[in-house]
Amino acid sequence: MKTLSRALSVSLLVISGLFISCAPQSQEEPPLSIVEHPEWSKNANIYEVNIRQYSEEGTFAAFTEDIPRLKEMGVDILWLMPIHPIGEINRKGTLGSYYSVQDYKAVNPNFGTEDDFRALVEKAHELEMKVIIDWVANHTAWDNPWTGNPDWYELDEEGGFMPPRGTDWSDVIQLDYTNDDMRVAMIDALVYWVREFNIDGYRCDVAGMVPTDFWIEAHQKLDEVKDVFMLAEDGEPELLFEAFDMNYAWEYAHVIREIAKGEMTFQDLDDLFARDASRFPANSYRMYFTTNHDENSWNGSDTELYGPNFENFAVLSATVAGMPLIYNGQEGGLDKRLEFFEKDQIDWKDYPYEDFFKLLLSIHKENEALWNGAYGGDRTRIESPEGTYVYSRKKGQNEVIVAINITENPKQISVPVWSSTTYTKYGVIEGEFIEDEASSYEFELPPNKWFILASK
């Protein structure tokens, strides 16, 4: 798509009732996290990489060739789905689940060699990007060498290995975190990839199924090697207070999907933000997204989930709060569910959304109002017609105003703007900018379209 931009000098008009407070209703605030974020993370974004499906080759080397393109798009953190060999016993499908780890200190031979992986990390670092890898600490494959120590696993009544508690994950078996020797081995494996390959952290699978005290110790040990970034696949607050830099905004992802279907409204989203503000430490990061490997493979493609409003919800996810995630292929207009246990290459289609994401990542990085956690600005909802969502985020002299219209009808939008501030306009709108001594910015937002004003 093409975007329009021009500088706008505008004046402030204080309009009674125009703003809707987005502050939490509760007077109690959660304690702050003691986790110290890496300095480079404060305005970073994250991009999820599925090596198997990324290219025809499905290798580290093939992906490495594309890293400069991602740098040009504005990507900061590369999150690689599990890179380890996949278990063969009870394997699902032909190629198996990435999350059935056969060996914590080896790479999947289908992806390449250790030297290939090292070259990938070095290329990313050369371009001032970071690399984190997926880590599966809760369970292993049935044929992981650790099974030689049965007391490292939870066992069923007959003394046999068992799938993780409360799941039907038949290709993996549950580790026992009451065993100190297993914990030591797990931390040793985590440290190995940071020390030997210079990775920058981990995305930790089903992190909430592993005891919090383990993650606290693991993060401390990793930080002794280098200052790492830790992302928890978990939607609850607990892990953020002492163990992780960021977790998933899972409930947000489910709410926007329901809004897109017409089953929820933007009031439900505001209610969620109010609840989250009273539960999560303000200085932690949350990861906001329209999709990831789970959402895409099991719940639907972007087209299925969002219909004509995919861009609107991508704009929302990149600007409303926290760190935005892009799943590989979204810049190619990912319009299918990628097979999880088979080879199913992404069709990039000449990258029709690459400029769109480049714009969003650029605004997020350059405007301090959109930075992550406490580094970013407060959000204020602006009153607008039904079916639209309009808000401002401000930090110091920085401001971003966002409007989305998810209806099939044009909507009249009016927003107040700062006096003597120059803004840049992004998006497609109809109508003219009004500028005089005391004026709001008023415009017509077409159906299923978005608009951003960003202070320069």
For 114-142, the pLDDT digits (tens) are 999 999 999 999 999 999 999 999 999 99
Banded pLDDT at 420 (limits 50, 70, 90): low
**pLDDT single digits (tens) 293-346:** 999 999 999 999 999 999 999 999 999 999 999 999 999 999 999 999 999 999
Average pLDDT over residues 76-103: 98
Which pLDDT score is estimated for 429? 62
Counting every residue written for the chain, the total comes to 456
The answer to which of 25-39, 252-266, 300-314, 434-448 has the lowest mean pLDDT is: 434-448
Average pLDDT rounded to a whole number, residues 13-42: 68
Predicted confidence at residue 29, as pLDDT, reads 86
Given a cut of 90, whether residue 24 has pLDDT beyond it is no
Give pLDDT, residue 432.
41
**Residue 33 reports pLDDT greater than 60:** yes
Q: Which of 90, 51, 65, 141 is nearest to 338 (CA)?
A: 51
Residue entry with tokens 């714009």: 359
Q: What are residue 413's phi and psi, to 5 degrees?
A: -120, 140
Average pLDDT (421-448) is: 72
Output the average pLDDT for the chain: 92
How far is residue 247's CA from residue 286's CA, in Å, rounded to a whole number? 5
DSSP state of 85: P
| Long-range contacts (CB closer than 8 Å, 24 or more residues apart) made by 211-217 | 211/177, 212/238, 212/239, 212/242, 212/243, 214/137, 214/177, 214/183, 214/186, 215/239, 215/243, 215/244, 216/242, 216/243, 217/183, 217/187
Helical residues (DSSP H) of 34-81, grouped into ranges:
51-54, 60-73
Is residue 289 helix, strand or coil?
coil
For 281, the 3-state DSSP assignment is coil
Mean per-residue pLDDT for 203-222?
Answer: 98
Q: With a cut of 60, say whether residue 38 has pLDDT above it.
A: yes
- For 361-411, write each residue's pLDDT tens digit: 999 999 999 999 999 999 999 999 999 999 999 999 999 999 999 999 999
Total-model pTM: 0.93
pLDDT at 321: 96
Residue 187, token pair as written in the block:
């931390």
Phi, psi angles (nearest 5°) of residue 66: -95, -5
Residues 228-237 have pLDDT tens digits of: 999 999 999 9
Mean pLDDT of 173-181: 98
**Strands 19-20 vs 378-382: parallel, antiparallel or unpaired:** antiparallel
Find where tokens 């069923």 sit.
Answer: 156
pLDDT digits (tens, 9 = 90+) for 236-287: 999 999 999 999 999 999 999 999 999 999 999 999 999 999 999 999 999 9
Q: Which residue ranges make up each domain of the chain?
A: 29-376
Q: Quick check: 60 pLDDT over 50?
A: yes
| Region 29-376: CATH code | 3.20.20.80
The CA distance from 239 to 1, in Å, is 39
Q: DSSP letters of 60-71?
A: HHHHHHHHHHHH
Mean pLDDT of 32-48: 98
